[in-house]
Amino acid sequence: MTLRTRLAPLLAMLAGVLLSGCASAQVAYAPGVDRSTPQRTYEFFKRAAQAGAFGEEWSVFSPSFKRALNQAVGRNVDFSDYGLARRTVAPNSHPDMQLLLGSTLQEVRMTSPDSAVITITAGGQSLRPRMVRLDVWELRVRGDPDPYSDVLQGGGLVRSVAGGVEVVIPASPTMAPLLARIPPESIESLTVESRWYVDDFGGLESALGSSASQSPAPAPVEAPKPTQPVLPPPSGGYGSPDG
């Protein structure tokens, strides 16, 4: 059985648990453990998974990856769904999660300045996810420990105004009402940086969507059966990076 066929059922399970959950730990950004390159993003994901930092795992999936999953399943899946799935049907003790956590990065092939295909191996088997680089803005507000953060859609605008410069960053429909309520004097900092995201799981997301769409949504129960499907991660949002 190949790595692809072993992980497809696991991702299909992660696409079918449509219940609510809660966040877990977070992995702080640090030198050598960030998302400035495809390799570091792969390492970041593994470190987050090993630490049970499901919010950080969720943040590694690109907006287009999450939209494709939502369309395949027929509903909006959010981080609470993903966190519940990881705590129940796909914990780190799951054999296929162990396979993923024990994988190694063999190659990074740049297909453009902002996209790459990486090759990871486990047990002599290979998987080739595609990754993309996106610009992300993060706004920190005085008195709030969690930043406002989202992918920069369509690029920002910096223009000269009397007395200095003005930075305009387009906000998503979800984020805009939240930002409108922030008093300008409470803003501490605004940063924009490039981060790499998983944009395609080597074709496994197609199998995930197919399986989930053919299975009825499970009733809310405290312990979902391992045979029922579960789901991965949305983009942007208040209180967690990109999700």
Whether the per-residue pLDDT at 21 is higher than 70: the answer is: no
Q: Is 193 left (phi over 0), alpha (psi -120 to 50) or beta?
A: beta
Q: What is the mean pLDDT of residues 86-111?
A: 89
Instruction: Residue count of the chain, please give it.
Output: 243
- Whether 178 and 166 map to the same domain: the answer is yes
Domain assignment present for residue 234? The answer is yes
Nearest to 194 by CA among 134, 238, 146: 134
- Whether 19 and 70 map to the same domain: the answer is yes
- Whether 69 and 181 map to the same domain: the answer is no
User: How far apart are alpha carbons 80 and 62 in whole angstroms?
Assistant: 17
Q: Is 30 left (phi over 0), alpha (psi -120 to 50) or beta?
A: beta
- Whether 68 and 177 map to the same domain: the answer is no
User: How far apart are alpha carbons 224 and 221 in whole angstroms?
Assistant: 6
Whether the per-residue pLDDT at 4 is higher than 90: the answer is: no
| Structural domain boundaries, residue 70 | 3-132+198-238
User: How far apart are alpha carbons 57 and 99 in whole angstroms?
Assistant: 16
- Whether 147 and 167 map to the same domain: the answer is yes
Q: Provide CB contacts within 8 A for 102, sequence distance 6+.
A: 122, 123
Give the count of domains, the chain: 2
The mean pLDDT of the chain is 75
Residue 104: predicted pLDDT: 92
pLDDT digits (tens, 9 = 90+) for 52-67: 888 888 889 898 888 8
- Whether 203 and 122 map to the same domain: the answer is yes
Residue 5: predicted pLDDT: 66
- Whether 86 and 183 map to the same domain: the answer is no
Domain assignment present for residue 243? The answer is no
User: How far apart are alpha carbons 148 and 236 in whole angstroms?
Assistant: 8
Q: What is the mean pLDDT of residues 122-150?
A: 88
pLDDT digits (tens, 9 = 90+) for 170-213: 888 888 898 999 998 999 998 888 899 999 876 555 545 454 44
